[in-house]
Chain A
Amino acid sequence: MSRANAIADVCIVGSGAGGGVMAAELARAGIGVVLLERGPERASEDFLHRQDELTNVLRQDFFAPGYRETLRASEREQAVPGRYSMLAQTLGGSTVHWGAWSWRFRADEMRMLSRDGPVAGANLADWPIGYAELEPFYAQAEQALGIAGRAGSNPFETPRTGAYPNPPHVYRPSSRLLEAGATKLGLHPFPLPMAINSRVFDGRAKCMNGGQCAGFGCPVNAKASPLAIHIPAARATGKAEIITGARALEISVDSEGRARGVHYRAADGATREVRARHVIVCAGSIGSATLLLGSRSARFPNGLANGSDQVGRNLMCHIFSLVNFEMREPSLGQLGPPGNVGVDDFHPSDARRGFVGGAVLGEAIDPLPIVSALKSKDYLRGQRAWGEPLSRYLERYPHYCGMIAIGEDLPVASNRVDLDPDHRDAEGVALPRITHTNHPNDVALARYMEARMSEIATAGGALKTFATDYVGARTATGHIMGTCRMGSDPRNSVLDRWCRSHEVANLWVVDGSFFPTSGGYNPTLTIFANAYRVAAHFIAEARRLNLG
């Protein structure tokens, strides 16, 4: 495939939840795949010995060392370089270090404009696909990932047939506190569905219950990821060539305006081109948008497939609130997977609350001591956060736990990713520039959820609750969505219902970029399910030789 003049069936850029599925499914169907992954191949050896909290969590320096973005609140400001998103550059993508909370979006979340809108200052849209169409692919993804949960235990989850493939994870003392508090308030707590093996499954180990999980690669592959599942499956077909250390620089186009291939910088420093009949971009909301924007030509002066000027726009990252609590007995939050109890009662949208959309609430453990130590300022509010009070706070570390709200944030057209005109990386490529300000609806939603979580923890018997302010976190999240909006109108969307670009018939974007709205759940299972759906369509169309 990489011989000069060879033309691959498909070139896939990025090996995460979208790219990993596309590579495995297409290769399984006999389609020839060349997969370019910017990062190296990291695996068990790295995850067992080389990770630590300072590197992985505080510096975000394990999975994308040296990676930088720039950030500003509005177009009137200069963007400041720093490390903001939690994206990874590694074989398997950012999913390698996810927290693995796995949800099917509710049917009404894909109809947000019809349900709640329009909202002034926001760019709401309905999804051009519905839950019924995604349902079998959610089931396929859940089975492939080995989701651990109890079907029907969440009365607010979207109705489903079929059980989860694995039983739920155990509750620790802090889970039982939250469960008791929620029950006392008339709410409906349930075990969080997680893509982490609660028993040996599909040839992968059971979770070892070491709390070092979210933000880290799993040394035993108990946590599902494309690295653990889809990359091996793709390799086993013999039809996938996987090139790591390969940074896509530009998608080239031919004289007819079709994608011709992908120029990339290889691990040895040389620049090469993969020519392909179809290019499938799966570099995440930031990577995919910046790749398209950087692929300019006479026909596409504003970036590839960007006649709508929508590429990079409608960037969403969810909004979070976090309430920590101290309990009488040890929480055991240092043990087990990152969970384990959830409350979804506040998810359904109800404008009478003063905002639209909702959030799922879930137990948020503090499995590692530095992040917990940094919350001392929230615990010690009203006094200096050092000296004896700080030492006493640290001594209570085993008694802390938390609850987090995954809040829906509204798409705003001016929240966007583009190429920074002033800052470049070590290779001379423009840094991704993030322009982002939360809509007032987001902030109202987050504050409401913060109050609800405090009530739950207090009702459960917490000695003290203390909130950590995440409203200002912006894109410092692992949930980056939007930037290549899926829609039926090419004037205000980038992709059609199959994640195929409106303007370039052989260019597809299959990752979280397609989300028209962000929903009140972690996005990754929906990214997986959509990728299975698009892969099935791609394969069916290929067999009918109907690919334009």
Chain B
Amino acid sequence: MERREFLHLFGAALGAALLARPLAAAAAASTQQALVLNASECALLEAICARILPPVGGVSTREAGCVNFIDKLLAHEERALAPAYRAGLAALDALARGFAALEAAQQVHLLEQLEDGTLQPWPEAAGTQATLFGLLRMHTLLGFLAAPSFGGNRDGAGWKAVGHVGHLHGAGGVSDEQVAGKSV
């Protein structure tokens, strides 16, 4: 078949073939109901996120909705990650015999081992330990600081915690004097 005919056949399938747009995540984020994670996974993740990022400016990862962000991420843009991610969470929780109920120091120790890749036994289905830790850390940060439409940073609480001013264009911007730091 001539290449141009081949491409013509695929033209109609363009829309379906594009990756999920952020609007999909935004629509999903409008519900706080978990779409992918079960209750015990949510509780486990709350404890992990809180240990990775203790309260910032008094705002906790729980208040910011980090776990909701992760749930929506696993439901949409990163759905390919979900099986390994959940297998890793299960393995960690099993090794901890209930991570969420442990003392802080014990939780930290387990996460350090996960970061270093020294937890044993570790199922192959969960992928590399260091990779999982890196994802958990990244997702915690994104859950705290990404735009609220993605399901975290609830009502901009994460932005307020770090002192981020938010998107100014719709709020009228600021003056040159304000940029210079020469006016209140």
- Residues from chain A with Cβ under 8 Å of B158 in the complex: 369
A53 interface contact, C-beta 8 A? yes
Residues of B132-162 whose CB lies within 8 A of A:
137, 141-142, 144-147, 149-150, 158-159, 161-162
Contact of B56 among A66, A250, A265, A391 (CB under 8 A): A391
CA distance A65 to B25 in the complex (A): 14
- Please name all residues of chain A whose beta carbon is closer than 8 Å to the beta carbon of B179 when the two chains form the complex: 169-170, 172, 209, 332, 335-336
- A379 at the A/B interface (Cβ < 8 Å)? no
With contacts A209-B173, A426-B18 known, is A53 near B147, CB below 8 A? yes
How many positions in chain A have a CB within 8 Å of any CB in the partner chain?
A: 61
Closest residue of chain B to A172 (Cβ to Cβ) is B179
Nearest chain A CB to B35's CB is how many angstroms away? 18
Complex-state Cα separation, A388 to B137, whole angstroms: 13
Chain A residues lying within 8 Å of B144, measured Cβ to Cβ, are 373, 394
A426 touching B13 by the CB < 8 A rule? yes
Type the 1/0 row for B7-31, where 1 means its CB is closer than 8 Å to any CB of A: 1101111100111011100000000
Which residues of chain A are within 8 angstroms of B93 by Cβ–Cβ distance? none
Partner of A369, one of B3, B112, B164, B170: B164
Query: Contact at A391–B159, with CB atoms within 8 Å?
Result: no
B175 within 8 A of A: yes
Chain A residue at smallest Cβ distance from B54: A391
Q: Tell me which residues from 100 to 116 in chain B have a Cβ below 8 Å from any Cβ of chain A.
A: 108, 111-112, 115
* B interface residues, tally (CB under 8 Å): 58
Q: Which of A53, A335, A374, A426 contacts B10 (CB 8 A)?
A: A426
A61 and B22 within 8 A (CB): yes
Bound-complex Cα distance A428 to B9 (A): 10
Q: Are B53 and A334 in contact (CB under 8 A)?
A: no
- Judge whether A398 and B141 touch: CB under 8 Å: no
The CA of A518 and the CA of B165, in the complex, are separated in Å by 36
A212 pairs with B180, CB closer than 8 A: no
Instruction: Let me know if A335 and B174 touch, CB within 8 A.
Output: yes
- B142 and A370 within 8 A (CB): yes
A188 on interface, CB distance cutoff 8 Å: no
In angstroms, how far is the closest chain B Cβ from the Cβ of A431?
14
Interface residues of A (CB under 8 A from B): 47-50, 52-55, 58-59, 61-62, 65-66, 169-173, 207-212, 219-220, 249-250, 263, 265, 268-271, 329-330, 332, 334-336, 368-370, 373-374, 384-388, 390-391, 394-395, 397-398, 426-429
Q: Closest 6 A-B residue pairs measured CB to CB?
A: A208-B173, A269-B11, A210-B168, A426-B17, A52-B147, A336-B179
Instruction: Using CB atoms and an 8 Å cutoff, list the residues of chain B in contact with chain A.
Output: 3-4, 6-8, 10-14, 17-19, 21-23, 51-57, 77, 108, 111-112, 115, 137, 141-142, 144-147, 149-150, 158-159, 161-165, 167-170, 172-181
Question: Known contacts A47-B169, A209-B173, A385-B137; can you find 14 more A-B pairs with CB under 8 A?
Answer: A52-B149, A208-B174, A209-B178, A219-B170, A265-B11, A329-B181, A332-B181, A335-B178, A368-B164, A369-B159, A370-B146, A384-B112, A386-B53, A428-B6
